[in-house]
Chain A
Amino acid sequence: MARVITPRARIGYTAAAWIVALTLFFPILYTIITSLKTEQEAIAGFRMIPSFTLSSFEAVQNQNNYWRPFTNSVILAVGSTLVALVVGIPAAWAMAFSPTKNTRGILMWMLSTKMMPAVAVLVPIYLIFLRTGLMDTRTGLIIVLMLMNLPIVIWMLYTYFREIPGEILEAARMDGASLKDEILYVLTPMAIPGIASTMLLNVILAWNEAFWTIQLTTTNAAPLSAFIASFSSPQGLFWAKLSAASVMAIAPILIMGWFSQKQLVRGLTFGAVK
């Protein structure tokens, strides 16, 4: 904003903004602090300075069953995103570069599948999984997560592809580029940033998904979201360890999220807010 602002007002705004930001961030900060405490310290009352012990992280990692959900989370998030891209890129590409009369209608319909509440199809999906042996398998969950995110993948890619200027393609053709050259040297480099952002947002969404992962897994294919939800039943006050496990579960995605704020706005609102 171009308007002049007094230094005093600026200090006031800054102070207020930091208080709000730290208040909202506090639960995460406090979890990080707790993960660095000993178990006795963790329940000994409010204290912001931990003893800085990594023993909780060590304990969580030494539990054999921690790395399995972690690996599952990585495989499910990355796997479902890659399959969605393999299916979504050609579809978005076709709709962006050779649109037909009903392209708009198809896009809206795809978006509408996203509105279907998960719980409405819980019964059939659960039964199908039971009968086909997909229950508690990574394959089964990759399929469901992929279908869940496919409309967002297509919408995001579509909006990105639409922004690639057609003149560049025409210029390349004038210079005698073949279809292969066009795709390889002109379109692909311009499409990669869009594909990368789409991938980022979908990994985040798949990593944090909790309804299907809890319903369709028990131990074998359970990712971190389901693994951590299983701590809800009381099993003593292992808060430092729980905090360490939580920090390890959210850290990678938190950092990815910080880098993808802009894509988030675009991807989740389907470009309706600029």
Chain B
Amino acid sequence: MATRQTAGLARLMRAPAIILLLIWMIVPLGMTLYYSFLNYNLLNPANVSWAGWFNYQYFYTDPAFFAAIRNTLVLVLGVLTITVVLGIAIALLIDKPIWGQGIVRILIISPFFVMPPVAALIWKNMIMHPSYGVFADIARFLGLQPVDWFAQYPLTSIIIIVAWQWLPFATLILLTALQSLDGEQMEAAEMDGAGPVSRFIHLTLPHLARAITVVVLIQTIFLLGIYAEILVTTNGGPGNASTNLTYLIYRAARLNFDIGGAAAGGIIAVILANIVAIFLMRAVGKNLD
């Protein structure tokens, strides 16, 4: 089908997208790499000098960096655990014949479409506020002392908010996978006397393995970049208690005007994301015909 003429046309049609994405990738990344070796403070732009590995060294010895790495990992793993476990449970539940399935699905998927700053503000003011939030009302109703969530459990609070936002995604993906499960195989297993637990472990779970992998990898990419939720609720505090890597780099660049340091942090973020990306590309690549 591809004559020389159409092949030339096809090349012409592909070119703009390829060139744009190439520039978008190479130029900023190259600049980040270059800046990461400079002493460069925006407050004092006349005084730029070569820093060598200093910025990386600085990051490496800064206690805030270790707190940020730890918080990033806790945040990602916490949200993943909650969304995958609850996602499987909810997907199994709404896959059952229930009344009002359509509305139930719409209600469950909704949090995913709430923009991050709004989601964070809703939770901060309406739900978790120590004096006026719904949780405080419930605590008082039960005769307990209301919890000041963002002061006492800052990272946990953010994990709850982010998990609420991503649970719909996990549920939807897992439900989609669940619906392609072979019903006859299930019935055969049931006839052979396999109980619900063993059917779940030996049939459902292996069938969901691929979907779980996809959920984990895609969410990880997004969860490494959590930003608005932290900005709106805790500002990374108290201290560094809820600062993740993204927030730390933002702070270096935009609040401390430390271009060199922020760039070094950016390169570290790229390395982390790439480790995840390699696995993701493998999982997706297998599916490409």
Q: Say whether A132 faces chain B, with CB atoms less than 8 Å apart.
A: no
In the assembly, what is the distance between CA of A249 and CA of B122, in Å?
A: 13
- Say whether A250 contacts B115, CB under 8 Å: yes
In the assembly, what is the distance between CA of A14 and CA of B93, in Å?
A: 9
- Say whether B107 contacts A108, CB under 8 Å: no
Q: Which A residues from 183 to 215 make CB contacts under 8 A with B?
A: 204, 207-208, 210-211, 214-215
Q: Say whether B127 faces chain A, with CB atoms less than 8 Å apart.
A: yes
- Say whether A117 contacts B246, CB under 8 Å: yes
Which of B46-54, B57-65, B223-231 makes up part of the contact surface? B223-231
Given A18-B100, A120-B266, A224-B115, the answer on whether A112 and B1 have CB atoms closer than 8 Å is no
In the assembly, what is the distance between CA of A243 and CA of B250, in Å?
A: 28
Q: Say whether B143 faces chain A, with CB atoms less than 8 Å apart.
A: no
Given A3-B187, A119-B269, A261-B172, the answer on whether A25 and B108 have CB atoms closer than 8 Å is yes
Residues of A within 8 A of B285 (CB): 108
Q: Shortest CB–CB separation between residue A101 and chain B, in angstroms?
A: 12
- Say whether B266 contacts A215, CB under 8 Å: no
Residues of A within 8 A of B1 (CB): 97-98, 166
Residues of B within 8 A of A249 (CB): 115, 118
Residues of A within 8 A of B267 (CB): 120
Q: Shortest CB–CB separation between residue B124 and chain A, in angstroms?
A: 8
Q: Mark A246-266, 1 if CB is under 8 A from B, else 0.
A: 100110011011100100110
- Say whether A87 contacts B262, CB under 8 Å: no
Beyond A24-B168, A111-B281, 5 additional contacts (C-beta under 8 Å) are A20-B93, A98-B6, A115-B277, A150-B20, A258-B106
Given A116-B25, A120-B267, A211-B228, the answer on whether A225 and B116 have CB atoms closer than 8 Å is yes
Q: Say whether A229 faces chain B, with CB atoms less than 8 Å apart.
A: yes
Which of A14, A120, A269, A270 is most buried by chain B, counting CB atoms within 10 A of its CB?
Answer: A120
Q: Say whether A17 faces chain B, with CB atoms less than 8 Å apart.
A: yes
Given A117-B269, A120-B266, A254-B114, the answer on whether A147 and B24 have CB atoms closer than 8 Å is yes
Nearest to B226 among chain A residues (CB) is: A211
Q: Which B residues from 252 to 287 make CB contacts under 8 A with A?
A: 253-254, 259, 262-263, 265-267, 269-270, 272-274, 276-277, 280-281, 283-285, 287
Q: Say whether A237 faces chain B, with CB atoms less than 8 Å apart.
A: yes
Residues of B within 8 A of A94 (CB): 9-11, 13-14
- Say whether B173 contacts A269, CB under 8 Å: yes
Interface residues of B, dominant DSSP:
helix
Q: Say whether B147 faces chain A, with CB atoms less than 8 Å apart.
A: no
Q: Shortest CB–CB separation between residue A255 and chain B, in angstroms?
A: 9
Q: Mark B28-39, 1 if CB is under 8 A from A, else 0.
A: 110110010000
Q: Mark A70-100, 1 if CB is under 8 A from B, else 0.
A: 0000000000000000011011011101101
Residues on A close to B: CB < 8 A? Answer: 1-3, 5, 10, 13-14, 16-18, 20-22, 24-25, 27-28, 30-31, 34, 43, 45-46, 87-88, 90-91, 93-95, 97-98, 100, 104, 106-108, 110-128, 147, 150-151, 154, 166, 204, 207-208, 210-211, 214-215, 224-226, 228-229, 231-232, 237, 239, 242-243, 246, 249-250, 253-254, 256-258, 261, 264-265, 268-274
Which of B74-82, B151-159, B176-184 makes up part of the contact surface? B176-184
Residues on B close to A: CB < 8 A? Answer: 1-2, 6-7, 9-11, 13-14, 16-18, 20-21, 24-25, 27-29, 31-32, 35, 90, 93-101, 103-127, 132, 134, 137-138, 164, 167-169, 172-173, 176-177, 180, 183, 186-187, 190, 210-211, 214, 218, 221, 224-225, 227-228, 231-233, 245-246, 249-250, 253-254, 259, 262-263, 265-267, 269-270, 272-274, 276-277, 280-281, 283-285, 287-288
In the assembly, what is the distance between CA of A37 and CA of B262, in Å?
A: 44
In the assembly, what is the distance between CA of A65 and CA of B44, in Å?
A: 34
Nearest to A148 among chain B residues (CB) is: B24
- Say whether A117 contacts B270, CB under 8 Å: yes
- Say whether A14 contacts B98, CB under 8 Å: yes
In the assembly, what is the distance between CA of A264 and CA of B170, in Å?
A: 12
Other-chain residue from A106, A231, A271 in contact with B287 (beta carbon distance below 8 A): A271
Given A1-B183, A225-B228, the answer on whether A257 and B109 have CB atoms closer than 8 Å is yes
- Say whether A108 contacts B114, CB under 8 Å: no
Residues of B within 8 A of A150 (CB): 17, 20-21
- Say whether B97 contacts A13, CB under 8 Å: yes
Nearest to A147 among chain B residues (CB) is: B24
Nearest to B120 among chain A residues (CB) is: A232
- Say whether B137 contacts A46, CB under 8 Å: yes
Residues of B within 8 A of A272 (CB): 210, 214, 283-284, 287
Given A30-B134, A123-B31, A253-B115, the answer on whether A115 and B266 have CB atoms closer than 8 Å is no
- Say whether A119 contacts B21, CB under 8 Å: no
- Say whether B113 contacts A87, CB under 8 Å: no
Residues of B within 8 A of A122 (CB): 249-250, 253-254, 262, 266
Sample (18) of A-B pairs whose CB atoms are under 8 Å apart: A10-B99, A24-B108, A25-B108, A28-B122, A98-B6, A113-B21, A117-B224, A119-B266, A120-B267, A125-B28, A147-B20, A147-B24, A208-B116, A215-B254, A229-B228, A232-B120, A237-B132, A265-B172
